[in-house]
Structure formats: structure tokens, C-alpha cells
A = this chain, B = another copy of it.
Amino acid sequence: MPKGSVSLSVIRRLPRYHRFLRDLLAAGTVRISSGDLSAKMGLTASQIRQDLNCFGGFGQQGYGYNVKDLYEEIGRILGLDQTHRAILLGAGNLGRAIALHMDFALRGITLLGIFDSDPSLVGTQVGGMPVRDCAGLADFCAAHRPDIAILCIPKESANRTAAMLVRHGVRGFWNFSHYDLALDYEGIAVENVHLGDSLSTLCFRLKEAGRESESLVP
């Protein structure tokens, strides 16, 4: 169990721990020292011990970490043992890729339906699932009670649609619209994903990397 409040930067590292541990588990690794885990993850061993201590610590002196126990415990902390019901809005290129590419089941998420307002997309199939008309969204939510919405829609409609979804009980938003969704409701979680920001950061780092290697040349 988390000891008091844990910083968001530690939380944001947990999915990465979970991912590395899943790979170790798949490779048949039973236990691992913080030193070996740190080498794999590119973190210091003390950083790893410090992060995991925030949640009560799972390592034993001289033994290291039991991979399966640690994987399952981090999954529980992340809430991946809970089940969720999701809808995806926007069946354009990005929405289709998200629907087809993501392993929702790994996180206890069932994708219930995909929606779009474009008549040329409504009725087409994405991964064996029909694209439904946004006109029926409110009724669908009332009947099926999704708690997560994945927004791959233009920014103009994201804010308006989100307010309606909150009224229908959606509590989590995974937002890919070019818009920082900020919802003034209690108990709502939003993750804004800006792929463009990541690409801009790469451009910055590329510029800086170039500068560093230039400075090595006399």
C-alpha cells in the first residue's frame, strides 16, 4: 500500500517498472537484484530502492525482488487488477490505430464501442467492431455504463462531448485531441497525450545532441 502521498514522477515510473517486470516474467526470471534491474532500466539501484520503498518496499536484503510478486503488486498499485469499460470516440487513422494496437485486456479494460460522426466511417469495421454513429452515444452510455472514454476527436468537439460523457458516468479520459482537457469535476481523471509535444522534444534533444558532439571537436 502507498505510504502517504506519492509524487506523480514516481507514479509515472511505475508503468515502466511493470513493463520491464512483465518482460522478465515472460523470460522466466524468478528473482532480480535492484542492481540488475537498474542496469536493465537505465536507473540507479538507489533510485529503484527509493521508488519501491514509497509503496512499502518489496525487496529482501540478499535476495532481491521476487519478479512475479513485484509485478503483481505494482499492477495492484496501478489499479490494473480492476476492470473498466471503455468507449473510443473518433475512428480516423489515430482512433483506428489505438483500437487495433493497444492491449486493453492487459489493463482490465474492455472496449465496448467505437463512435464517429462521419457518415463515411459509420458502419465500417475496426478490428471486428462496427463504428457507431455519435448520434447514439448518449443512449449507448446510458445502457452500457462505460467509465473510460478515449478521445481521438478534433479539439473543437472534445470539451463539449466530455461534459456529456461525465453526466453519463464516464470518469476517466484518455485524450488524444490536440487540446488539454481540463475537467472541473470531482473524481475525474484525465491523461492528455500529445504526440506532437514528444516529437518537438526530440527535435530539441537532437539540436542539443548535435551541439554536444560539435563541442567535442577541437
**Quick one: copies of this chain in the complex?**
2
Binding site of A, secondary structure by majority: helix, strand, loop or mixed? helix
Contact indicator A79/B196 (Cβ below 8 Å): no
Number of A residues, CB within 8 Å of B: 66
CB distance from A216 to the nearest CB of B (A): 7
Instruction: Give every chain B residue within 8 A of A100 (Cβ-Cβ).
Output: 93
List A residues 175-215 near B (Cβ within 8 Å). Answer: 178, 180, 182, 186-191, 193-210, 212-213
Besides the known contacts A78-B201, A79-B204, A191-B198, 18 further A-B residue pairs in the complex with CB atoms under 8 A apart: A15-B198, A102-B195, A102-B196, A106-B196, A107-B196, A107-B199, A107-B200, A107-B203, A147-B206, A148-B202, A173-B202, A174-B199, A186-B212, A187-B210, A189-B208, A189-B209, A191-B205, A193-B195
Q: Which residues of A contact B (CB under 8 A)?
A: 11-12, 14-16, 18-19, 41-42, 77-80, 82, 84, 92-94, 96-98, 100-104, 106-109, 147-148, 171-174, 178, 180, 182, 186-191, 193-210, 212-213, 216
